[in-house]
Amino acid sequence: MDGLEGNDESQSIQCRVGNRFVSDPIFHRLSRELAWARMRAHLLQQVVAKRMGTTTSAISRLENAFGHRPTLTTLERYAEAVGCELQIRLVHADEEWYRYLSALARKRVREPHEIVDG
């Protein structure tokens, strides 16, 4: 992958910015959420691009965390294009990790990014 190196252990990626690499685990997770939302809606990137009035390559960059930080407006437009609602929330890191481990122990994790209460 040109300019993109993965790191599964920390769920972060490194993007080439000039002659250096920058790690951005938050955007890596967000980009996976975007791709999952589109796939759950059974939409191709081309369809999402058309609905948003942009290019397929722009959608690909969003979904692949390729050194791009989208604006809230872009995220809202993407969410609308895939039939979702954008929600932003803060979750204490320890709480999320505990919920994930609890869900995993109960085998209630449906997708890599989804934590199910229950």
DSSP tag of 41: T
Q: Kindly list the strands in the beta sheet with 12-17, ordered across the sheet, starting from the edge strand earlier in the chain.
A: 4-7, 12-17, 20-23
Q: What pLDDT band is residue 82 in, cutting at 50, 70 and 90? A: very high
Q: What is the reported pLDDT for 10?
A: 41
CA pair distance 39, 26, nearest whole angstrom? 20
pLDDT, average across residues 61-70: 81
Answer whether 0.85 is exceeded by the pTM: no
Domains of the chain: 4-87 (1.10.260.40), 88-118 (no CATH)
Name the phi and psi angles at 24, rounded to 5: -140, 80
Residue 61 has pLDDT above 60, yes or no: yes
pLDDT tens digits for 8-22? 434 444 555 455 454
